[in-house]
Amino acid sequence: MSGFGLIADVGGTNIRLALVDLKTGEIGRLQKYLCADYPSIADVIALYLEKQNETVTQACVAIACPTDKDWIAMTNHSWAFSKKQVQEQLGFDNFHVINDYTGIAMSIPTLTDEQKIQIGGEPAKTGEPIAVYGPGTGLGVAHLIHHDSEYVCIPGEGGHVEFASNDEKEAHVLAFLQKRYGHVSAERLLSGPGLVNIYQGLMDMHGKVAEDLQPADVTTRGLDGSCPVCVEAMEVFCRALGSFGGNLALNMSTFGGVYIAGGIITRFMDFFKNSDFRKRFEAKGRFVDFVAKVPVYVITEEQPGLQGAAAYLRQSNGYRI
């Protein structure tokens, strides 16, 4: 067996490819390609491997779409392929295709202190359940448990549970969005587009006409204080993110930690740290003392999906992560 495995993190725009030393877990030779420049995933992987001068027979791809069937069809790109056919075409002995949030979840045991920031709670307990969620284009959610010396990811669609309001502002935003969508999921508020939805709902509450803003506009105007309603929107976002995270902690007693992924929070870390996020995370009535012990971490590592694909591949080859 070759000492190296191929790992990839595939999004709607870019594919990142690297090699992992299966014994040590060291990741190197990272290359990024535009998905639109290649007709298929097999083409870009073959191109990458041609340049590496290594015999690679193991691969793990983390990709932003369902992966439970042989046929993979990307949600935000035109690539679609059969796992079996790609494996045969590229000559892999093993070809794993995992959901992008499985990749992020599998990265958690490998994160160093420099790749995450703790927000309250006690130190994480080794071997205890872990939850990870992340506001981005949508709201991804997964859990990670430790069983028989291995980590097992429990994926799901937790971002689509009903949103529950906890104060008057959230109640107004919820009612505003119910008129628009009917069913209002957590993702409708806890995502990039969700920031805009919150802003629009708050503008309606104040009897004002909302501007046509993008998520980056809301955060920019909120951080510089040029738009008081954008500041409010960011505050509501952080509080609601805390309530949702606290619910995840209760669901599985996640004393291994609740982790926040996605690039949104890292863009306004100081604002986030000073918000009511942690207060809302712990505001669980009779279980406030229980949840207060659970640590929250913001993942600052830029490539957790790639790191998780490496962990998944190494574990599938019998290595502990």
**CA 100 to CA 219: how far, in whole Å?**
25
Q: Residue 116 is inside which H or E element, if any?
A: strand 116-118
User: Which tokens sit at 73?
Assistant: 């069809």
- DSSP summary character for residue 50: H
Token pair listed for 89: 């075409």
Was 121 annotated as part of a binding site? no
Question: CA of 271: how far to CAs of 171, 192, 267, in Å?
Answer: 23, 16, 9
Q: Known binder of ligand: residue 240? A: no
266: which DSSP letter? Answer: G
Residue 99 to residue 78: CA distance in whole angstroms: 17
* 8 annotated to a ligand binding site: yes
Is 5 annotated in some ligand binding site?
no
d(CA 267, CA 276): 17
What are the CA-CA distances from residue 97 to residues 79, 122, 226, 290 (Å)? 14, 35, 45, 37
Query: Does residue 10 have a known ligand-binding role?
Result: yes
- How many CB atoms are located within 10 Å of the residue 28 CB? 9
Residue 72 and residue 61 in contact, taking contact as beta carbons nearer than 8 Å: no
C-alpha angle 308/98/8, rounded to 5°?
A: 60
- Taking each helix axis as running N to C, give the angle between helix 215-224 and helix 228-252, from 0 to 180 degrees, rounded to the nearest 10: 110
Whether residue 9 is annotated as binding a ligand: the answer is yes
User: Which residue positions form the known binding site?
Assistant: 8-13
Q: Which residues are annotated as a binding site for ATP?
A: 8-13
